[in-house]
Homo-oligomer: A and B are copies of this chain.
Protein backbone atom coordinates (compact mmCIF):
# COMPACT_ATOMS: atom_id res chain seq x y z
CA UNK A 1 0.00 0.00 0.00
CA UNK A 2 1.30 3.40 -0.94
CA UNK A 3 0.37 6.77 0.52
CA UNK A 4 -0.41 9.22 -2.28
CA UNK A 5 -1.28 12.88 -2.50
CA UNK A 6 -4.98 13.54 -2.80
CA UNK A 7 -8.42 12.89 -1.37
CA UNK A 8 -11.91 12.22 -2.67
CA UNK A 9 -10.94 12.70 -6.32
CA UNK A 10 -7.93 10.36 -6.26
CA UNK A 11 -9.80 7.18 -7.18
CA UNK A 12 -10.81 6.61 -10.80
CA UNK A 13 -14.10 8.16 -11.84
CA UNK A 14 -14.64 10.55 -8.93
CA UNK A 15 -15.03 14.30 -9.39
CA UNK A 16 -15.60 17.14 -6.96
CA UNK A 17 -16.54 20.80 -6.88
CA UNK A 18 -17.38 23.45 -4.33
CA UNK A 19 -19.01 26.86 -4.14
CA UNK A 20 -19.79 29.77 -1.85
CA UNK A 21 -23.56 29.45 -1.52
CA UNK A 22 -23.85 32.01 1.28
CA UNK A 23 -25.72 29.65 3.59
CA UNK A 24 -24.34 31.19 6.76
CA UNK A 25 -20.71 32.15 6.26
CA UNK A 26 -19.58 35.07 4.15
CA UNK A 27 -16.49 35.16 1.94
CA UNK A 28 -15.79 31.44 1.95
CA UNK A 29 -16.95 28.23 0.28
CA UNK A 30 -19.65 26.34 2.14
CA UNK A 31 -20.91 23.64 -0.23
CA UNK A 32 -19.18 20.64 -1.79
CA UNK A 33 -20.31 18.10 -4.34
CA UNK A 34 -18.67 14.70 -4.86
CA UNK A 35 -19.82 12.62 -7.82
CA UNK A 36 -19.01 9.17 -9.16
CA UNK A 37 -19.03 8.73 -12.95
CA UNK A 38 -21.05 5.55 -12.47
CA UNK A 39 -23.46 4.69 -9.64
CA UNK A 40 -21.35 3.30 -6.79
CA UNK A 41 -21.86 0.56 -4.23
CA UNK A 42 -22.10 2.35 -0.90
CA UNK A 43 -21.88 1.79 2.84
CA UNK A 44 -22.18 4.11 5.81
CA UNK A 45 -22.13 4.47 9.56
CA UNK A 46 -24.19 7.10 11.37
CA UNK A 47 -24.60 8.80 14.72
CA UNK A 48 -26.06 6.84 17.63
CA UNK A 49 -27.67 10.03 18.92
CA UNK A 50 -31.44 9.62 19.31
CA UNK A 51 -31.78 13.06 17.76
CA UNK A 52 -30.68 12.47 14.19
CA UNK A 53 -30.36 15.26 11.67
CA UNK A 54 -32.71 15.15 8.69
CA UNK A 55 -29.78 14.42 6.35
CA UNK A 56 -28.72 11.44 8.50
CA UNK A 57 -32.19 9.96 8.09
CA UNK A 58 -32.04 10.61 4.34
CA UNK A 59 -28.65 8.93 3.93
CA UNK A 60 -29.51 5.97 6.17
CA UNK A 61 -32.40 5.27 3.86
CA UNK A 62 -30.09 5.12 0.83
CA UNK A 63 -27.52 2.90 2.55
CA UNK A 64 -30.09 0.56 4.10
CA UNK A 65 -32.17 0.25 0.93
CA UNK A 66 -29.28 -1.22 -1.05
CA UNK A 67 -29.54 1.49 -3.72
CA UNK A 68 -26.39 2.70 -5.44
CA UNK A 69 -25.01 6.16 -4.69
CA UNK A 70 -24.06 8.63 -7.41
CA UNK A 71 -23.28 11.80 -5.53
CA UNK A 72 -23.01 13.50 -2.16
CA UNK A 73 -23.99 17.13 -1.52
CA UNK A 74 -22.47 18.63 1.61
CA UNK A 75 -23.00 22.00 3.25
CA UNK A 76 -21.40 23.66 6.25
CA UNK A 77 -22.95 26.36 8.46
CA UNK A 78 -26.30 24.80 9.30
CA UNK A 79 -26.74 21.21 10.52
CA UNK A 80 -30.36 20.66 9.50
CA UNK A 81 -31.01 18.90 12.83
CA UNK A 82 -34.12 19.43 14.99
CA UNK A 83 -35.87 20.93 11.99
CA UNK A 84 -38.94 18.70 11.67
CA UNK A 85 -40.64 17.93 8.36
CA UNK A 86 -39.33 21.09 6.73
CA UNK A 87 -35.80 19.83 7.35
CA UNK A 88 -36.44 16.49 5.65
CA UNK A 89 -38.04 18.22 2.68
CA UNK A 90 -34.88 20.32 2.36
CA UNK A 91 -32.89 17.11 1.90
CA UNK A 92 -35.24 15.91 -0.79
CA UNK A 93 -35.18 19.23 -2.65
CA UNK A 94 -31.38 19.38 -2.53
CA UNK A 95 -31.08 15.81 -3.81
CA UNK A 96 -33.59 16.56 -6.55
CA UNK A 97 -31.64 19.62 -7.70
CA UNK A 98 -28.46 17.52 -7.87
CA UNK A 99 -30.25 14.69 -9.69
CA UNK A 100 -31.46 17.11 -12.36
CA UNK A 101 -28.11 18.83 -12.75
CA UNK A 102 -26.22 15.52 -12.96
CA UNK A 103 -28.87 13.44 -14.74
CA UNK A 104 -28.84 10.75 -12.06
CA UNK A 105 -31.45 9.17 -9.79
CA UNK A 106 -32.55 11.47 -6.92
CA UNK A 107 -32.72 8.53 -4.57
CA UNK A 108 -29.00 7.91 -5.09
CA UNK A 109 -27.93 11.41 -4.01
CA UNK A 110 -26.74 11.62 -0.40
CA UNK A 111 -26.80 14.89 1.52
CA UNK A 112 -24.82 15.90 4.59
CA UNK A 113 -24.87 19.02 6.74
CA UNK A 114 -22.79 20.43 9.60
CA UNK A 115 -23.21 23.57 11.65
CA UNK A 116 -25.83 25.08 13.93
CA UNK A 117 -28.59 22.78 15.17
CA UNK A 118 -32.20 23.95 15.24
CA UNK A 119 -32.08 26.26 12.23
CA UNK A 120 -33.75 25.69 8.86
CA UNK A 121 -31.63 25.45 5.70
CA UNK A 122 -32.18 28.12 3.05
CA UNK A 123 -33.23 25.60 0.38
CA UNK A 124 -33.07 28.04 -2.54
CA UNK A 125 -29.41 28.75 -1.79
CA UNK A 126 -28.65 25.02 -1.70
CA UNK A 127 -30.45 24.46 -5.00
CA UNK A 128 -28.56 27.33 -6.60
CA UNK A 129 -25.33 26.02 -5.10
CA UNK A 130 -25.87 22.60 -6.63
CA UNK A 131 -26.56 24.15 -10.04
CA UNK A 132 -23.42 26.26 -9.75
CA UNK A 133 -21.23 23.30 -8.83
CA UNK A 134 -22.34 20.81 -11.48
CA UNK A 135 -20.44 22.47 -14.38
CA UNK A 136 -17.35 22.90 -12.18
CA UNK A 137 -16.86 19.20 -11.40
CA UNK A 138 -13.24 18.14 -11.83
CA UNK A 139 -11.17 15.02 -11.18
CA UNK A 140 -8.12 17.09 -10.25
CA UNK A 141 -6.48 16.72 -6.84
CA UNK A 142 -7.14 20.43 -6.27
CA UNK A 143 -10.89 19.92 -6.71
CA UNK A 144 -10.83 17.33 -3.92
CA UNK A 145 -8.79 19.62 -1.70
CA UNK A 146 -11.17 22.52 -2.30
CA UNK A 147 -14.11 20.29 -1.41
CA UNK A 148 -12.43 19.30 1.86
CA UNK A 149 -12.07 23.00 2.69
CA UNK A 150 -15.68 23.85 1.88
CA UNK A 151 -17.02 21.42 4.48
CA UNK A 152 -14.98 22.89 7.37
CA UNK A 153 -16.70 24.73 10.24
CA UNK A 154 -14.37 25.58 13.14
CA UNK A 155 -11.71 23.26 11.71
CA UNK A 156 -8.40 25.07 11.29
CA UNK A 157 -7.02 22.66 8.68
CA UNK A 158 -8.67 20.54 6.02
CA UNK A 159 -8.38 16.77 6.33
CA UNK A 160 -7.81 14.52 3.33
CA UNK A 161 -5.63 11.62 2.36
CA UNK A 162 -5.39 8.82 -0.18
CA UNK A 163 -3.68 5.47 -0.68
CA UNK A 164 -3.24 3.09 -3.58
CA UNK A 165 -2.61 -0.65 -3.71
CA UNK A 166 -2.94 -3.52 -6.15
CA UNK A 167 -5.38 -6.37 -6.39
CA UNK A 168 -4.13 -8.86 -8.96
CA UNK A 169 -2.85 -6.70 -11.80
CA UNK A 170 -5.27 -3.88 -11.06
CA UNK A 171 -4.31 -0.66 -9.30
CA UNK A 172 -6.94 0.33 -6.71
CA UNK A 173 -7.14 3.76 -5.10
CA UNK A 174 -8.96 4.97 -1.98
CA UNK A 175 -9.20 8.59 -0.93
CA UNK A 176 -11.17 10.42 1.70
CA UNK A 177 -11.90 13.67 3.44
CA UNK A 178 -13.46 14.52 6.77
CA UNK A 179 -14.32 17.48 8.93
CA UNK A 180 -14.99 17.92 12.59
CA UNK A 181 -13.69 20.05 15.32
CA UNK A 182 -16.37 20.44 18.00
CA UNK A 183 -19.23 18.16 19.09
CA UNK A 184 -16.86 15.33 18.37
CA UNK A 185 -17.37 12.15 20.31
CA UNK A 186 -18.39 9.66 17.66
CA UNK A 187 -20.37 6.70 18.80
CA UNK A 188 -20.98 4.92 15.52
CA UNK A 189 -18.84 7.01 13.30
CA UNK A 190 -17.68 10.56 13.11
CA UNK A 191 -18.89 14.01 12.24
CA UNK A 192 -18.61 14.02 8.46
CA UNK A 193 -16.36 11.71 6.49
CA UNK A 194 -16.44 10.72 2.83
CA UNK A 195 -14.37 7.95 1.27
CA UNK A 196 -14.19 7.26 -2.45
CA UNK A 197 -12.63 4.18 -3.98
CA UNK A 198 -12.58 2.64 -7.41
CA UNK A 199 -12.43 -0.85 -5.88
CA UNK A 200 -14.89 -3.44 -7.14
CA UNK A 201 -16.44 -4.79 -3.96
CA UNK A 202 -19.77 -6.16 -2.81
CA UNK A 203 -22.02 -4.00 -0.67
CA UNK A 204 -21.89 -6.46 2.24
CA UNK A 205 -18.11 -6.57 2.31
CA UNK A 206 -17.88 -2.79 1.99
CA UNK A 207 -20.24 -2.26 4.96
CA UNK A 208 -18.48 -4.95 7.02
CA UNK A 209 -15.07 -3.38 6.51
CA UNK A 210 -16.30 0.14 7.18
CA UNK A 211 -18.20 -0.78 10.35
CA UNK A 212 -15.25 -2.72 11.72
CA UNK A 213 -12.62 -0.07 10.96
CA UNK A 214 -14.75 2.69 12.49
CA UNK A 215 -14.65 0.98 15.90
CA UNK A 216 -10.89 1.42 16.23
CA UNK A 217 -10.49 4.73 14.42
CA UNK A 218 -13.27 7.35 14.35
CA UNK A 219 -15.00 5.85 17.39
CA UNK A 220 -11.79 6.19 19.40
CA UNK A 221 -11.51 9.96 19.12
CA UNK A 222 -13.13 12.58 21.28
CA UNK A 223 -12.89 16.33 21.42
CA UNK A 224 -15.60 17.23 23.88
CA UNK A 225 -17.71 14.19 24.69
CA UNK A 226 -20.64 15.54 22.70
CA UNK A 227 -21.92 12.94 20.22
CA UNK A 228 -23.30 14.95 17.34
CA UNK A 229 -26.72 14.68 15.74
CA UNK A 230 -25.04 14.62 12.31
CA UNK A 231 -22.22 12.06 12.46
CA UNK A 232 -22.00 10.51 9.01
CA UNK A 233 -19.33 8.43 7.33
CA UNK A 234 -20.01 7.34 3.76
CA UNK A 235 -17.95 5.25 1.38
CA UNK A 236 -18.60 4.92 -2.33
CA UNK A 237 -16.96 2.13 -4.37
CA UNK A 238 -17.54 2.50 -8.10
CA UNK A 239 -15.64 -0.56 -9.34
CA UNK A 240 -13.74 1.31 -12.06
CA UNK A 241 -10.43 -0.27 -10.96
CA UNK A 242 -11.87 -3.39 -12.61
CA UNK A 243 -10.41 -5.81 -10.05
CA UNK A 244 -12.27 -9.07 -9.55
CA UNK A 245 -15.17 -8.26 -7.22
CA UNK A 246 -14.30 -8.69 -3.54
CA UNK A 247 -17.13 -10.78 -2.10
CA UNK A 248 -15.52 -12.33 0.99
CA UNK A 249 -12.39 -12.68 3.12
CA UNK A 250 -9.01 -13.22 1.50
CA UNK A 251 -6.00 -11.31 0.28
CA UNK A 252 -7.98 -8.68 -1.64
CA UNK A 253 -10.29 -8.19 1.35
CA UNK A 254 -7.29 -7.65 3.61
CA UNK A 255 -5.76 -5.12 1.25
CA UNK A 256 -8.94 -3.09 1.04
CA UNK A 257 -9.35 -3.35 4.83
CA UNK A 258 -5.83 -2.06 5.33
CA UNK A 259 -6.45 0.85 2.96
CA UNK A 260 -9.73 1.83 4.65
CA UNK A 261 -8.09 1.51 8.08
CA UNK A 262 -5.13 3.64 7.05
CA UNK A 263 -7.28 6.43 5.61
CA UNK A 264 -9.71 6.40 8.56
CA UNK A 265 -6.95 6.39 11.18
CA UNK A 266 -5.21 9.29 9.49
CA UNK A 267 -8.41 11.33 9.24
CA UNK A 268 -9.43 10.47 12.82
CA UNK A 269 -6.09 11.56 14.29
CA UNK A 270 -6.17 14.75 12.23
CA UNK A 271 -9.63 15.50 13.57
CA UNK A 272 -8.58 14.87 17.16
CA UNK A 273 -5.47 17.02 16.89
CA UNK A 274 -7.52 19.77 15.26
CA UNK A 275 -10.17 19.74 17.98
CA UNK A 276 -11.69 23.14 18.68
CA UNK A 277 -9.05 25.36 20.26
CA UNK A 278 -6.59 22.50 20.57
CA UNK A 279 -2.83 23.06 20.68
CA UNK A 280 -1.84 19.40 20.57
CA UNK A 281 -2.83 15.80 19.84
CA UNK A 282 -3.43 13.86 23.07
CA UNK A 283 -3.16 10.07 22.75
CA UNK A 284 -3.92 7.45 25.40
CA UNK A 285 -2.46 4.00 24.77
CA UNK A 286 -3.62 1.24 27.10
CA UNK A 287 -1.76 -2.07 26.90
CA UNK A 288 -2.00 -5.44 28.67
CA UNK A 289 -5.56 -4.87 29.82
CA UNK A 290 -7.93 -7.70 30.79
CA UNK A 291 -10.17 -7.18 27.75
CA UNK A 292 -10.39 -5.12 24.60
CA UNK A 293 -13.54 -3.47 25.93
CA UNK A 294 -11.84 -2.45 29.18
CA UNK A 295 -8.85 -1.09 27.26
CA UNK A 296 -11.16 0.99 25.06
CA UNK A 297 -13.19 2.29 27.99
CA UNK A 298 -10.06 3.43 29.80
CA UNK A 299 -8.33 4.95 26.78
CA UNK A 300 -11.44 6.91 25.81
CA UNK A 301 -12.07 8.01 29.38
CA UNK A 302 -8.54 9.38 29.75
CA UNK A 303 -8.58 11.45 26.56
CA UNK A 304 -12.17 12.55 27.28
CA UNK A 305 -11.59 13.90 30.77
CA UNK A 306 -11.73 17.69 31.00
CA UNK A 307 -9.24 17.61 33.85
CA UNK A 308 -6.79 15.43 31.89
CA UNK A 309 -7.21 17.68 28.85
CA UNK A 310 -6.58 20.84 30.86
CA UNK A 311 -3.47 19.29 32.43
CA UNK A 312 -2.16 18.38 28.96
CA UNK A 313 -2.74 21.97 27.85
CA UNK A 314 -0.77 23.24 30.86
CA UNK A 315 2.06 20.71 30.35
CA UNK A 316 1.26 19.60 33.89
CA UNK A 317 2.30 16.03 34.75
CA UNK A 318 -0.76 15.63 36.98
CA UNK A 319 -0.97 11.89 36.37
CA UNK A 320 -3.52 11.31 39.14
CA UNK A 321 -6.17 12.71 36.84
CA UNK A 322 -5.50 9.95 34.31
CA UNK A 323 -5.81 7.27 36.98
CA UNK A 324 -9.01 8.91 38.19
CA UNK A 325 -10.45 8.89 34.66
CA UNK A 326 -9.53 5.20 34.26
CA UNK A 327 -11.28 4.54 37.57
CA UNK A 328 -14.64 5.95 36.51
CA UNK A 329 -14.48 4.57 32.97
CA UNK A 330 -16.47 1.47 33.81
CA UNK A 331 -13.45 -0.84 33.51
CA UNK A 332 -12.44 -3.00 36.47
CA UNK A 333 -8.81 -3.12 37.53
CA UNK A 334 -6.46 -2.98 40.49
CA UNK A 335 -4.44 0.23 40.68
CA UNK A 336 -1.62 -1.80 42.25
CA UNK A 337 -1.04 -3.41 38.83
CA UNK A 338 -0.74 -0.17 36.88
CA UNK A 339 2.32 1.52 35.36
CA UNK A 340 1.93 4.95 33.74
CA UNK A 341 4.31 6.80 31.42
CA UNK A 342 4.35 10.08 29.51
CA UNK A 343 5.76 9.79 25.99
CA UNK A 344 6.40 12.20 23.16
CA UNK A 345 9.04 13.04 20.57
CA UNK A 346 10.89 14.68 23.48
CA UNK A 347 11.30 11.51 25.57
CA UNK A 348 9.67 9.01 27.90
CA UNK A 349 9.06 9.31 31.64
CA UNK A 350 7.60 6.80 34.09
CA UNK A 351 5.52 8.49 36.79
CA UNK A 352 3.49 5.71 38.48
CA UNK A 353 4.59 2.17 39.23
CA UNK A 354 2.31 -0.59 40.53
CA UNK A 355 0.14 1.63 42.72
CA UNK A 356 2.88 3.96 43.90
CA UNK A 357 3.67 7.48 42.63
CA UNK A 358 7.29 7.96 41.55
CA UNK A 359 9.28 11.10 42.14
CA UNK A 360 10.38 12.58 38.83
CA UNK A 361 12.09 15.60 37.33
CA UNK A 362 9.37 18.22 36.71
CA UNK A 363 11.46 19.97 34.05
CA UNK A 364 11.83 16.74 32.12
CA UNK A 365 8.08 16.13 32.40
CA UNK A 366 7.30 19.62 31.11
CA UNK A 367 9.67 19.09 28.18
CA UNK A 368 7.97 15.83 27.20
CA UNK A 369 4.48 17.30 27.58
CA UNK A 370 5.35 20.38 25.50
CA UNK A 371 5.48 18.38 22.26
CA UNK A 372 2.83 18.69 19.52
CA UNK A 373 1.66 15.15 20.20
CA UNK A 374 1.69 13.62 23.67
CA UNK A 375 0.96 10.02 24.67
CA UNK A 376 -0.11 8.73 28.06
CA UNK A 377 1.07 5.12 27.98
CA UNK A 378 -0.64 2.86 30.48
CA UNK A 379 0.52 -0.69 31.15
CA UNK A 380 -2.21 -2.53 33.08
CA UNK A 381 -0.17 -5.75 33.58
CA UNK A 382 -3.41 -7.70 33.78
CA UNK A 383 -3.88 -9.28 30.34
CA UNK A 384 -2.98 -8.82 26.69
CA UNK A 385 -5.67 -6.51 25.28
CA UNK A 386 -4.88 -3.03 24.07
CA UNK A 387 -6.54 0.09 22.67
CA UNK A 388 -5.58 3.60 21.65
CA UNK A 389 -7.76 6.69 21.80
CA UNK A 390 -7.10 10.18 20.51
CA UNK A 391 -8.21 13.58 21.72
CA UNK A 392 -6.82 17.03 22.27
CA UNK A 393 -6.14 19.47 25.06
CA UNK A 394 -8.78 21.78 26.57
CA UNK A 395 -7.87 25.41 26.06
CA UNK A 396 -9.16 28.94 26.50
CA UNK A 397 -9.91 28.94 22.81
CA UNK A 398 -12.29 25.97 23.11
CA UNK A 399 -14.39 28.05 25.48
CA UNK A 400 -14.08 31.13 23.32
CA UNK A 401 -15.16 29.30 20.17
CA UNK A 402 -18.14 27.71 21.86
CA UNK A 403 -19.36 30.54 24.02
CA UNK A 404 -20.29 32.44 20.91
CA UNK A 405 -20.62 29.93 18.10
CA UNK A 406 -23.77 31.11 16.43
CA UNK A 407 -22.86 34.74 15.95
Of A29-37, A210-218, A319-327, which stretch is located at the interface?
A319-327
- Shortest beta-carbon distance from A53 to chain B in Å: 10
Which residue in chain B gives the minimum CB-CB distance to A227? B328
Determine whether the beta carbon of A224 is less than 8 Å from that of B306: yes
A58 at the interface (CB under 8 A from B): no
- Shortest beta-carbon distance from A329 to chain B in Å: 8
A293 at the interface (CB under 8 A from B): no
A50 to B355, CA, bound (A): 13
A247 at the interface (CB under 8 A from B): no
Determine whether the beta carbon of A324 is less than 8 Å from that of B84: no
One of B79, B323, B352, B394 near A399 (C-beta < 8 A): B394
Determine whether the beta carbon of A316 is less than 8 Å from that of B50: no
A226 to B307, CA, bound (A): 7
Interface centre among A224, A226, A351, A395 (most CB of B within 10 A): A226
A383 at the interface (CB under 8 A from B): no
A1 at the interface (CB under 8 A from B): no
Determine whether the beta carbon of B405 is less than 8 Å from that of A399: no
A117 to B120, CA, bound (A): 47
Determine whether the beta carbon of B399 is less than 8 Å from that of A395: yes
- Shortest beta-carbon distance from A95 to chain B in Å: 21
Determine whether the beta carbon of A118 is less than 8 Å from that of B319: yes
Determine whether the beta carbon of A316 is less than 8 Å from that of B395: no
Q: Can you list 25 contacts pairing A with B, beta carbon distance less than 8 Å?
A: A50-B333, A50-B335, A51-B326, A79-B320, A82-B320, A82-B335, A84-B336, A117-B318, A117-B320, A117-B323, A118-B319, A118-B320, A118-B351, A183-B321, A183-B324, A229-B323, A310-B398, A310-B401, A310-B402, A313-B399, A316-B405, A318-B405, A396-B400, A398-B399, A399-B399
Interfacial chain B residues near A185, Cβ < 8 Å? 328
Copy total for this chain:
2
Contacts A313-B403, A399-B310 hold; do A357 and B120 have CB atoms under 8 A apart? yes
A224 to B49, CA, bound (A): 21
- Shortest beta-carbon distance from A155 to chain B in Å: 16
A399 to B316, CA, bound (A): 12
Determine whether the beta carbon of B324 is less than 8 Å from that of A357: no
A81 at the interface (CB under 8 A from B): yes
A390 to B361, CA, bound (A): 40
A residues 290-317 touching B (CB-CB < 8 Å):
304-307, 310-311, 313-314, 316
Determine whether the beta carbon of B404 is less than 8 Å from that of A316: yes
Contacts A227-B328, A399-B313, A403-B311 hold; do A323 and B356 have CB atoms under 8 A apart? no
A116 at the interface (CB under 8 A from B): yes
- Shortest beta-carbon distance from A382 to chain B in Å: 12
Contacts A310-B399, A357-B120 hold; do A407 and B49 have CB atoms under 8 A apart? no
Interfacial chain B residues near A321, Cβ < 8 Å? 117, 183, 226
A225 at the interface (CB under 8 A from B): yes
Interfacial chain B residues near A304, Cβ < 8 Å? 225
- Shortest beta-carbon distance from A118 to chain B in Å: 4
A173 at the interface (CB under 8 A from B): no
Determine whether the beta carbon of B307 is less than 8 Å from that of A402: yes
Determine whether the beta carbon of B324 is less than 8 Å from that of A226: yes
- Shortest beta-carbon distance from A404 to chain B in Å: 5
A residues 317-369 touching B (CB-CB < 8 Å):
318-321, 323-328, 331-333, 335-336, 351-352, 355-357
A187 at the interface (CB under 8 A from B): yes
A406 to B336, CA, bound (A): 23
Interfacial chain B residues near A226, Cβ < 8 Å? 305-307, 321, 324-325, 328
A83 at the interface (CB under 8 A from B): yes
